[in-house]
């Protein structure tokens, strides 16, 4: 029986392959063309400006734009709504969706679909760029998603995914939205090679999204780089976090995260590299923290985290905390402020390093005292505290600090 079915399906295959190619231009309505198309058809869209909106794709077609035809929502309308599985859309420009407080206006919306791909599209000045609702196995790749949001309330997200699974978000350039990429109840997805910058709130935002991975992304100059909240088993590897400045700015903000990995990332010129709150069993390994205000801020509500084999260089303060309870492990890190010695020449310092500097504690209590930072007097206080720790938390220490920096 199975064999017959196989043979039958092979006989059917040519019919699928011989799907037609339909050409269309700015003069005809794309909606009509789509409604008449059969599954498997390819629709080629000629260059030009299309003042058409709320285009609903209900059949599994391939939409290809030639030389980026422009779909303009005239600041009032949504543009593409994809409501069929296996749709592929590529090479088009979608712009000016406008804003609404009733609907989340999206450039390209994916509704309850699977195996949809969005490739090489330009999404310009939309409230939400690409919006995935309850979708599975979709691929969003090589898109240029640009907007110019100025405040959080009036704007949307570049790539917005809600209640989805197994997504691949790859090599997109996202800028000027509220969040570059937003995940809510999204599981088993991969975000890789994206460039998310100049977003008002976060470069990447996770809410209740488990088992996700993001690797080799660059987050630059967002309100904060990545916010990971209320999620489990998140893997964060080889990302760049740069230039997140401000009094609530972080490279990574971890809030109630557990069983995750942060490895081989670079944090440079952020006000705070990693901010952790209520987070457990996170493995922070082989990251480079360079020239940040605070490399890490680990609140006392964090437990069983391991921070090892990292490089801490040129940071104003290495670690800050808000209590005396220390339930995390620091080991084998390189700290450029370490002044200990290594008598047996095994590459590990013989005296422990205390990453919390006394002045970071003082300035936290009285921010104004920061104006005396790096003066001769504060250097004396720092030295005195190193010899006789009384203010800094004695338990927070690296017992095996490295003498030479790791090659990362």
Residues in CB range of 207: below 8 A, 6 or more apart: 182, 183, 184, 185, 229, 230, 231
Burial of 124 (0-12, 13-18, 19+ CB in 10 A): buried
Give the x/- contact pattern for another protein in 348-367, rule: CB under 8 A.
Answer: ---------------x-xxx
| Residues across the chain | 408
When asked if residue 321 is in the footprint of another protein (CB under 8 A), the reply is no
Q: Which two structure tokens, joined as six digits, stand for 12? A: 């059917």
Least gap, CB of 181 to another protein (angstroms): 24
When asked if residue 379 is in the footprint of another protein (CB under 8 A), the reply is yes
Cα–Cα distance for residue pair 357/352, rounded to 1 Å: 14
Indicate the residue among 5 and 366 with the shorter CB distance to another protein. Answer: 366
**Residue in 6, 67, 375, 395 binding another protein, rule: CB under 8 A:** 375
Among 239, 249, 279, 357, binds another protein (CB under 8 A): 249
Q: Which of 119, 168, 215, 370 binds another protein (CB under 8 A)?
A: 370
Residue 269 sits in the site that holds another protein (CB under 8 A):
yes
Cα 201 to the center of its chain, rounded Å? 11
- Interface with another protein, residue 275, by CB under 8 A: no
247 binds another protein (CB under 8 A): yes
Residue 33 near residue 61 (C-beta atoms within 8 A): no
Q: Is 339 in the site for another protein (CB under 8 A)?
A: no
Nearest-approach distance from CB 386 to another protein, in angstroms: 16
Verify binding: residue 313, another protein, rule CB under 8 A.
Answer: yes
- Tell me the helix, strand and coil percentages in the chain, rounded to 5: 10, 40, 50
316 interacts with another protein by CB under 8 A? yes
Residue numbers 88-127 binding another protein by CB under 8 A: none
Which residues within the stretch 34-73 sit at the binding site for another protein (CB under 8 A)? none
User: In the complex with another protein, which residue's Cβ is closer, 175 or 249?
Assistant: 249
Q: Which two tokens stand for residue 88?
A: 């592929």
- For 242-264, letters b (16+ CB in 10 Å) and e give bbbeeeebbbbbbbbbbbbbbbb
Q: Is 368 in the site for another protein (CB under 8 A)?
A: yes
- Region near another protein per CB under 8 A, out of 14-22, 87-95, 226-234, 369-377: 369-377
Q: How many residues form the binding site for another protein (CB under 8 A)?
A: 33
125, 156 in Cβ contact below 8 A? no
x/- string (CB under 8 A) for another protein, residues 168-187? --------------------
Q: 228, 206 in Cβ contact below 8 A?
A: yes
Under rule CB under 8 A, residue 158 binds another protein? no
Does residue 200 belong to the site contacting another protein (CB under 8 A)? Answer: no
DSSP letter at 114 equals: B
Q: Is the dihedral of CA 377, 382, 388, 389 positive or negative?
A: positive
For another protein, the closer of residues 260 and 360 by Cβ is: 360
Beta-strand (E) ranges in 12-165? 21-24, 42-45, 49-50, 55-57, 62-65, 70-72, 80-82, 88-90, 93-95, 106-111, 117-119, 122-124, 128-133, 139-141, 144-146, 159-162
Cβ proximity to another protein, 27 vs 247, nearer residue: 247
Whole-number minimum distance, CB 317 to another protein, in Å?
6
User: Per-residue string for binding with another protein, 216-245, x by CB under 8 A?
Assistant: -----------------------------x
Q: Is 407 in the site for another protein (CB under 8 A)?
A: no
376 binds another protein (CB under 8 A): yes
Q: Which of 93, 89, 57, 95 is nearest to 73 (CA)?
A: 95
Give me the residues that bind another protein (CB under 8 A), please.
245-247, 249, 269-272, 291-294, 313-314, 316-317, 336, 363, 365-379
């Amino acid at each position: 029986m199975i064999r017959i079915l196989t043979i039958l399906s092979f006989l059917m295959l040519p019919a699928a392959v011989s799907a037609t190619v339909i050409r269309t231009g700015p003069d005809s309505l794309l909606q009509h063309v789509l409604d008449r198309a059969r599954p498997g058809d390819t629709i080629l869209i000629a260059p030009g400006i299309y003042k058409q909106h709320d285009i609903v794709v209900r059949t599994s077609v391939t939409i290809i734009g030639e030389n980026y035809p422009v779909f303009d929502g005239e600041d009032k309308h949504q543009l593409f709504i994809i409501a069929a599985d296996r749709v592929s859309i590529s090479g088009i420009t979608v712009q000016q969706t406008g804003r609404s407080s009733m609907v989340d206006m999206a450039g390209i919306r994916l509704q309850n679909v699977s195996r949809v791909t969005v490739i090489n599209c330009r999404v310009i000045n939309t409230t939400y760029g690409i919006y995935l609702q309850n979708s599975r196995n979709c691929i969003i790749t090589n898109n240029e998603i640009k907007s110019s949001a100025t405040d959080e309330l009036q704007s949307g997200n570049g790539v917005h995914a809600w209640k989805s699974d197994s997504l691949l978000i790859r090599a997109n350039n996202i800028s000027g939205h509220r969040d570059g990429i937003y995940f809510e109840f999204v599981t088993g997805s991969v975000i890789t090679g994206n460039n998310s910058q100049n977003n008002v709130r976060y470069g990447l935002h996770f809410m209740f999204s488990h088992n996700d991975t993001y690797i080799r992304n660059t987050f630059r100059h967002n309100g904060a780089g990545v916010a990971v909240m209320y999620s489990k088993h998140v893997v964060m590897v080889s990302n760049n976090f740069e230039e997140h400045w401000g009094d609530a700015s972080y490279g990574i903000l971890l809030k109630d995260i557990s069983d995750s990995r942060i490895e081989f990332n670079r944090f440079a010129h952020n006000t705070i590299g990693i901010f952790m709150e209520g987070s457990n069993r996170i493995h922070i390994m082989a990251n480079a923290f360079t020239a940040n205000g605070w490399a890490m801020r680990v609140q006392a509500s964090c437990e069983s985290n391991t921070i090892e084999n990292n490089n801490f260089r040129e940071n104003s303060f290495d670690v800050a905390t808000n209590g005396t309870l220390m339930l995390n492990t620091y080991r084998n890190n390189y700290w450029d402020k370490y002044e200990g010695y290594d008598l047996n020449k095994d590459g590990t310092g013989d005296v422990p390093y205390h990453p919390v500097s006394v002045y970071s504690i003082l300035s936290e209590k009285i921010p104004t005292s920061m104006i005396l930072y790096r003066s001769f007097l504060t250097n004396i206080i720092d030295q005195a505290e190193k010899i006789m720790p009384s203010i800094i938390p004695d338990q927070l220490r690296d017992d095996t600090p490295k003498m030479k920096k790791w090659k990362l």
